[in-house]
Amino acid sequence: MQLRTDEAIGGQVQVRVTATGTEPFTVTSVAVDSPGFAPLPDRAVTAAFASGRTIDLPAPYGDAVCDRAAEPATARLTVVRPDGRTEALRVPLAAEVLGRIHEERCAVRAVLAVADVTVGDLSADGDAVTGTLTLTRAGDDDRPVTVTRLQGNVLYDVVADGLPRTLEAGESTLEVGLEFTMTRCDPHALAETKQPHLFLLGLQVAADDEVPADLPLDQAQRDELAALVDRACA
């Protein structure tokens, strides 16, 4: 499973475990093991199971390994039995969510191998924040790359100048002006938004399908947008 909070945190899914036997047990660690993701250490948890109980256990996943499929996947569980025995179990994992994440991550990686995407020069401009989206040719692949769309979210609207815009064959860089403004300032939106700095960026290489990516924002740029809330919603 992947909950909204997992998406906001990033790099995490939930392993849903159900006790189908009659004997209680406790799970003290969990990990996702998939050939499509770099391995990570087990995460310590404390989850006590009785018969019929279902608990979602948060488990991180590593970087996507794009020359391998996400399945077959397993979950590694450390289980403590009522008599104190500890068992390291490897159980089959339904991995549709991991498969989707793997496909999305690898599609974005393939686009960025043609043209890198950066955001720069974010600065306050009254009740807005302005900046620049830059595409930079990443290697020898000279296919055109198009910025098809950029979407705002619950809190922020964002306008990118003149979309769609294309980094044409033979060009090394493309710059697109950005302007962020507030969409909502009500307390409910400000308190409940889980991903305030997630903006959907559409990218397309030549005639391939559009690939949805996250607009890359570093912490300083996120802080600049947070300061916009203070100015515009005061």
Task: Tally the residues of the chain.
Answer: 234
Q: What is the 3-state secondary structure (H, E, C) of 57-114?
A: EEEECCCECCCCCCCCEEEEEEEECCCCCEEEEEEEECCHHHHHHHHHHHHHHHHHCC
Mean pLDDT value of segment 220-226: 96
What sections of 86-193 are H helices per DSSP? 96-112, 187-192
What six digits make up the tokens of 138? 């990443």
Cα–Cα distances in Å, from 51 out to 20, 23, 48, 139? 6, 7, 10, 56
Residue 126 has phi, psi (to 5 degrees) of: 65, -130
Candidates 3.40.190, 2.60.40, 1.10.3470, 1.20.1070; CATH matching 4-107: 2.60.40
Mean pLDDT value of segment 49-75: 96
Of the candidates 137, 140, 176, which has an alpha carbon nearest to the alpha carbon of residue 158? 176
pLDDT recorded at residue 175: 98
Domain boundaries 113-232, CATH class? mainly beta
Residue whose token pair is 């569980």: 77
Q: Residue 189 pLDDT more than 90?
A: no
What percentage of the chain carries pLDDT values higher than 70? 100
Amino acid at 183: T
pLDDT recorded at residue 192: 80
* Predicted TM-score of the model (pTM): 0.86
pLDDT tens digit sequence for 89-123: 999 999 899 999 999 999 999 999 999 999 999 99
Rounded mean pLDDT of the chain?
A: 95
Q: Residue 8 pLDDT more than 90?
A: no
In the chain, domain spans:
4-107, 113-232
Confidence category of residue 221, pLDDT binned at 50, 70, 90: very high
Q: Residue 188 pLDDT more than 90?
A: no
- Do domains 4-107 and 113-232 share one topology? The answer is yes
pLDDT tens digit sequence for 20-32: 999 999 999 999 9
pLDDT recorded at residue 206: 96
Q: How far apart are CA 232 and CA 180, in angstroms?
A: 11
